[in-house]
Amino acid sequence: MINDMKPEDVVGEFREVTLNLFGGMQRKVLYTEIETPYPDGKLIVSTTDPSGVITHVNQSFVEMSGYTEAELIGASHSILRHPDMPPAAFKDLWDTVKRGEKWQGFVKNLRKDGGYYWVKATVIPNIRKGVVVGYTSVRRKPSRTKVEECRRLYPSLF
């Protein structure tokens, strides 16, 4: 379950859109053009269950997302879904990790305050006795060159 975003949580002028998420869920998101730069030397780490529900986050995740740990644990990882991200990127992610393979890509994440931040993401299936029991995602600072490539490419993938 992901709640709609609330105007009182958003900083600055925002646009509103309803996203169609994995599993038939929908969410109203409010987003701005305010970027939070990814800090040097930090890794964002989280784990999820097999359906993408967050089971663990590190402090860097809490700080960059703007959510509290309590708000993140038990929420779908789609809570970070930015409307500029093409659905094809997440289809590729899920198709890859469900095969038990590692996925890497560049993701524009939505913050609780409506802003965004870019990451270079690596998602690894956690396999126990041949069964995927969840996923670990590690995000690092992306190069600005790659971010600019994605800014140009992603709109053409809708």
**Regions of the chain short of the pLDDT cut 50:** none
Say how far residue 24 (Cα) sits from the centre of its chain.
17
For residue 67, what are the contacts with CB-CB under 8 A and spacing of at least 6? 75, 79, 112
pLDDT tens digits for 78-109?
999 999 999 999 999 999 999 999 999 999 99
Lookup result for tokens 């305010």: 34
d(CA 101, CA 109): 22
Q: Are strands 15-20 and 116-128 parallel, antiparallel or unpaired?
A: unpaired
pLDDT of 73: 97
pLDDT of 1: 60
In the three-class reduction of DSSP (H, G, I as helix; E, B as strand; rest coil), residue 89 is classed as helix
Asked whether the beta carbons of 52 and 132 are under 8 A apart, the reply is no
pLDDT of 119: 98
pTM: 0.94
